[in-house]
């Protein structure tokens, strides 16, 4: 289920991204990976690059990709969206019309996934990777918006 109040649009720096067409209240579902293609691999780098770049991890060796708008959700170290349950992207706060929708990729990943971060926020960590590397202050801030498999794994 993709939110009709969100569009895929070209960003200035990060390729395609998601933008709010109107104000979106906290808790609103933005995108849903349910029904997507499931992939199994020992580690993220074993997946085809296009899959690794767009899928979200939902188990120790499991990723899911979607044909929906979730593929275009960009990363930020100061996100306005997060993961609800296993497969849904939801608004962590009220989002204004025209605002870009982002989530922290470490909210789902706990493998060998690594990419240089260029989000440009004050709290940019410079490297995006595994949840196990996420600072404690970010874990506290993201409470309720981390993939349920990581919540179970780390007893959060």
Closest listed residue to residue 70, CA positions, set 16, 117, 133: 16
pLDDT number for residue 13: 83
pLDDT of 144 over the 90 cut? yes
Average pLDDT of the chain, as a whole number:
96
Structure tokens at 15: 């390729």
- Domains belonging to the chain, first-starting first, are 6-149 (2.170.270.10)
Q: How far apart are CA 59 and CA 109, in angstroms?
A: 9
Alpha helices in the chain, H assignment, sequence order: 49-54, 136-141, 148-153
**For 20-56, how does the pLDDT look when each residue is reduced to its tens digit (9 = 90+)?**
999 999 999 999 999 999 999 999 999 999 999 999 9
The dihedrals phi and psi of 97, each to the nearest 5 degrees, come to -55, 135
**For 84-143, how does the pLDDT look when each residue is reduced to its tens digit (9 = 90+)?**
999 999 999 999 999 999 999 999 999 999 999 999 999 999 999 999 999 999 999 999
**For 52-73, how does the pLDDT look when each residue is reduced to its tens digit (9 = 90+)?**
999 999 999 999 999 999 999 9
pLDDT of 82 over the 90 cut? yes
Structure tokens at 86: 């296993």
Closest listed residue to residue 58, CA positions, set 127, 146, 156, 132: 146
pLDDT of 81 over the 90 cut? yes
- As a whole-number percent, the residues of the chain with pLDDT over 90 amount to 96
pLDDT number for residue 14: 82
pLDDT number for residue 1: 78
pLDDT number for residue 72: 96
Non-local CB neighbours of 46 within 8 Å, separated by 6+ positions: none
């Amino acid at each position: 289920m993709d939110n009709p109040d969100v569009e895929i649009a070209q960003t200035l720096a990060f390729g395609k991204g998601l933008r709010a067409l109107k104000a979106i209240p906290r808790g609103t579902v933005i995108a849903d990976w349910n029904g997507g293609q499931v992939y199994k691999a020992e580690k993220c780098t074993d997946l085809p690059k296009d899959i690794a770049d767009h899928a979200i991890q939902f188990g120790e060796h499991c990723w899911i990709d979607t044909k929906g708008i979730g593929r275009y959700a960009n990363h930020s170290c100061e996100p306005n969206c997060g993961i609800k349950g296993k497969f849904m992207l939801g608004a962590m706060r009220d989002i204004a019309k025209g605002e870009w929708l982002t989530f922290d990729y470490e909210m789902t990943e706990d493998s060998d996934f690594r990419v240089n971060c260029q989000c440009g926020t004050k709290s940019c960590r410079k490297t995006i990777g595994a949840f196990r590397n996420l600072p404690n202050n970010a874990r506290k801030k993201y409470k309720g918006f981390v993939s349920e498999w990581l919540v179970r794994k780390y007893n959060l």
